A and B are shown apart, each in its own frame.
Chain A
């Protein structure tokens, strides 16, 4: 809970450190965004990811304590998360073997895939009668930060991989895997599933970015 409070209070800090997208560096137009080094940008992105994961974990715990009292219910959501069209590395070995470009693109894909569902989650939670205020605030905060994270990753890709600005496509994807237990279509379970799946993916983002950082600093020592 303390971490949640701390994360909420850090809103202005994170907002201030967010990187605006409309940085133009051509034709002598004075850009409004300050230039930032690649290392610093990567650090900022990692901070974002860590914070997002922490807040999402707190939200999930809150939700569990309130709405999911039984353990078996908690266990059921483990494998109800969506699968991405682009396979994301799922083991440490795989992650160590893929390239930087692949890592970054994976992160971007993850981030982009969750922007819409979080908005949906927010609307769903607002319809609750007894949803705690903190939960709502956290989820709102997370959805906002996710957008900042997406921007940061895009710039990072541009800097590290020298690729052009990627178009941000928020493809509509099914939130839930088809064919899984229908009882989970209840809104509570659905929301809980959303939360836990998002938590998992946030952890992925954090792990990917950290490994990327390790590679940047000391490529040969990153196991």
Chain B
């Protein structure tokens, strides 16, 4: 009984077998100890004998292989039998046998496999709460155990614990070489080791070396987010820039307006071609700047045109007032302007103060209106006049610069002289032109009137009168005869240049009963400038108003020819240059200086 031995303290501990272990079920080792018999501790003092009870006639044999340094006896494959009982025995030099029946065994029952190798772990997942995680541990079978051939069936046991604890947690034994550990805590460090044994046997092998598992908290990768965010924004910006390239170019680098004049080849605007430019601008090329000139700048979306004012410089406010007044009087839409805007492509001279307007914006007038405008430039087309709409813009007298074919003059009078104002409020208009054949009487009257005016106009200086007298406006009416004896309308003709043949104009005849030329003449001290020129033979009576028909290439006004007995050749009598585009009756004194015979 073992307890008996311990109880008897003075009983020496005799040599005994410490342990016998097989690692691979094919070999095994036995260790002994001399116990208290220290004199037997020297190598060779104790000898180990064994017996293999496989037959009744088996005998004791000595250890096949000693390892004295370890006090160990090693049984190799040849000396190892499975399922056969072994008994161990120690013998000393003097044939004292130390035998214990407990030292009998069968080899499969003493198998303790080596610990598994290559233990490592991988993270499986982290719980949604972020507090726990699962780990997959895997390893390999001990190389000494012949598991592949099926000689040994091994099962494994994993044990783990937190670092600062003492109690190991054991998982269920299983023969696979991997196992999952569930429910580890984030932040804690765990120690894991493994051991194994033969299936359906009791003795475990040694534990393997421990591995350590730790998973720290998941930190939001702020730097990564920042980097990706910046890269994303940069890409977006580049995408926007590339897609909106043109717009950005427009915003950042607007096109610089270069000199561009409508109707003029941009090549001419370059340096060194001033002569041609002057030629074109003065109207010599094609009889004036074509209204519908070739659009050299068709493909440029935003072209700012320079407006070239075709009219003389002196025509200023008067045209404005007169135009508006006449328009109101005549209720004609004469939205004509002296200023010809060359700036608008496809838009003909439209009264526009804003000469710097770019062509990006819509033209001020649709084409329909421009056509009407142009038509109304030729005063003498009643249908046009009737069609003409009221001017949208401020009405100005338009000096039409068309070079279109002469149009038949319908007797449309732009200007009508107010002969008398009736008490009822009506306005008596005298016809603008009176073609009188029998001019003698009227001529006499005129003379008297002239004299009267000379007298009445004595306020003026002699010089002015002279100037007045020198001024001659010839109104030639080639057709003539239309205004025969329609009252004594004052007619003042003067030499003017290049009347168009076949021109005439419509007069608004005043009410005959109320228009007595004499009375009206007296009432209105219109400063008629009566022609007293050597060329007076051309006309007996001059129209009160001269309608400017057009402006020729030299920018001289072509007025209506005065009425004559015989249709005079429509020849310019006295081409006047720098002639203000106004009827005779509205010559201002300061303009007299500009007139020269």
Contact = CB atoms under 8 A, between A and B. Distances in A.
Interface of A: 3, 50, 53-54, 57-58, 71-72, 75-76, 78-79, 83, 90-94, 177, 179, 200-201, 203-204, 206-207, 210-211, 213-214, 221-223
A54 B175 CA distance: 14
B77 A93 contact: yes
Given A92-B80, A222-B149, A200 B26 contact: no
Contacts of B53: 78-79
B488 to A, nearest CB: 142
B81 interface: yes
Contacts, number: 81
Nearest to B54: A90
**Interface of chain A: mostly helix, strand, loop or mixed:** helix
Interface string B333-375: 0000000000000000000000000000000000000000000
Contacts of A179: 56
Given A50-B153, A92-B25, A221 B54 contact: no
B449 interface: no
A124 B530 CA distance: 169
B151 A92 contact: yes
A200 B77 contact: no
Contacts of B150: 207, 210-211, 213-214
B26 to A, nearest CB: 4
Contacts of A54: 199-200
Contacts of A3: 200
29 contacts: A53-B200, A57-B200, A57-B201, A72-B102, A75-B105, A78-B53, A78-B104, A78-B106, A79-B87, A83-B54, A83-B55, A90-B83, A92-B25, A92-B77, A93-B26, A179-B56, A200-B83, A200-B106, A200-B108, A203-B83, A203-B200, A207-B82, A207-B150, A210-B151, A210-B153, A211-B149, A214-B149, A221-B148, A223-B149
A79 B81 CA distance: 13
B253 interface: no
Nearest to B77: A93
Contacts of A210: 149-151, 153
Contacts of A206: 153
Contacts of A71: 102
List of 10 A-B pairs having minimum Cβ-Cβ separation, nearest first: A210-B150, A79-B85, A79-B53, A90-B81, A78-B85, A57-B200, A92-B26, A214-B149, A91-B81, A222-B149
A174 B80 CA distance: 27
Nearest to A46: B150
The interface centre, meaning the residue of B55, B150, B201 with most chain A CB atoms within 10 A of its CB, is B150
Contacts of B85: 78-79
Nearest to A178: B56
A75 B102 contact: yes
B90 to A, nearest CB: 17
Given A79-B87, A211-B151, A223-B146, 7 more contacts: A90-B82, A92-B82, A93-B78, A203-B108, A210-B150, A210-B153, A214-B148
B299 interface: no
Given A203-B108, A213-B150, A214-B148, A91 B102 contact: no
A43 B252 CA distance: 84
A67 B46 CA distance: 37
B84 interface: yes
A177 B56 CA distance: 9
Contacts of A93: 26, 77-78
B459 interface: no
B80 A91 contact: yes
B101 interface: yes
Contacts of B106: 78, 200
Contacts of A203: 83, 108, 200
Nearest to A221: B148
B552 to A, nearest CB: 120
Nearest to A201: B83
